[in-house]
């Protein structure tokens, strides 16, 4: 793949990430802000007198609107560009898949490796949950889990490609999936865990917050896969797209 195509796919990846960010923003606002407000209310109710005279640098209204939009859209733009570059590497190297199918596989792999697996070990917590003294350690371990998960996913794909000629696609896929689960399980067993939910904190708020974050990322990667797949299809197989459009016009009823 030449540099022009890579640059074009990078730009389309960023565009698709921005579009996906808009949808993820809607999910974040309607599903995520409620649990955040409830967690903040709990924190304020149990810390009366500790922050008297403190001035709020950024209002909650700004945080839940402009701040949320900026964070989600910039994140979508960034991961869209990264996924676009990953797509350039994966295209034609993970099987005989077309541009759209490859985009779907890259999106699914990104969701699994970069979010779902780390999420299962270190699920996100709303405000007021977590010891401030361990935030550095927790952040480091979370990013370590992301790196391990991504590396294991890449290794699984490479090993699967080597095993496929000897075992067949089905058995090779089962073998690498089992190996991936075992490796992730070992990482889960050896890495430390944290249980820092304060006494009396509503379990329903934690559950709703974690479910909302999962929905945000699932929406982001699903929309990205669909949008980027269509953009990549039009870029890489323009003749096929043109023939399909002409066929649709020909088959359309007259009158």
Nearest to 23 by CA among 66, 54, 69: 69
Query: In the chain, what's the furthest Cα-to-Cα distance?
Result: 75
The token pair that represents 237 in the structure block: 């197989």
How many CB atoms sit inside 10 A of residue 21's CB? 27
CA pair distance 137, 144, nearest whole angstrom: 10
Sign of CA dihedral 40, 41, 45, 50: positive
CA pair distance 200, 60, nearest whole angstrom: 24
Specify the pLDDT at position 156.
94
One pLDDT digit (tens) per residue for the chain, 255 residues: 667 789 999 999 999 999 999 999 999 999 999 999 999 888 888 776 544 445 667 788 888 899 999 999 999 999 999 999 999 999 888 878 899 999 999 999 999 999 999 999 999 999 888 888 888 999 999 999 999 999 999 999 999 999 988 999 899 999 999 999 999 999 999 999 988 888 889 999 999 999 999 999 999 999 999 999 999 999 988 766 555 555 545 545 544
- Look up the pTM and report it: 0.87
The token pair that represents 131 in the structure block: 């010891």
Sign of CA dihedral 122, 221, 92, 7: negative
Sign of CA dihedral 103, 107, 108, 113: positive
CA 71 to chain centre: 14
CA pair distance 100, 117, nearest whole angstrom: 24
Nearest to 21 by CA among 79, 106, 85: 79
How many CB atoms sit inside 10 A of residue 175's CB? 16
CA pair distance 95, 154, nearest whole angstrom: 14
Identify whether the C-beta of residue 32 lies closer than 8 Å to the C-beta of residue 217: no
Looking up tokens 């359309």 gives 252
């Amino acid at each position: 793949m030449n540099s022009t195509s890579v640059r074009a796919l990078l730009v389309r990846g960023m565009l698709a990430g921005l579009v996906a960010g808009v949808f993820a923003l809607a999910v974040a606002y309607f599903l995520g802000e409620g649990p955040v407000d409830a967690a903040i209310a709990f924190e304020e109710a149990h810390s009366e007198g500790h922050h008297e005279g403190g001035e709020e640098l950024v209002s909650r209204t700004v945080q839940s609107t402009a701040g949320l939009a900026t964070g989600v859209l910039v994140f979508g733009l960034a991961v869209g560009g990264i996924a676009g570059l990953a797509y350039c590497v994966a295209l034609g190297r993970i099987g005989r898949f077309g541009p759209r199918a490859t985009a779907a596989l890259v999106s699914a792999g990104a969701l699994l490796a970069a979010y779902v697996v780390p999420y299962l070990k270190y699920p996100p917590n709303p405000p007021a949950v977590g010891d401030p003294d361990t935030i550095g350690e927790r952040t480091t371990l979370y990013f370590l889990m992301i790196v391990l998960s991504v590396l294991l996913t890449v290794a699984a794909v490479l090993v699967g490609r080597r095993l496929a000629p000897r075992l067949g696609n089905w058995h090779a896929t089962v073998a690498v999936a089992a190996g991936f689960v075992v490796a992730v399980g070992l990482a889960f067993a050896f890495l430390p865990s944290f249980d820092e939910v304060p006494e009396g904190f509503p379990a329903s708020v934690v559950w709703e917050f974690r479910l909302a974050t999962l929905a945000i990322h699932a929406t982001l990667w699903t929309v990205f896969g669909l949008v980027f797949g269509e953009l990549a299809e039009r870029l890489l197989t323009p003749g096929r797209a043109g023939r399909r459009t002409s066929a649709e016009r020909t088959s359309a009823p007259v009158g």
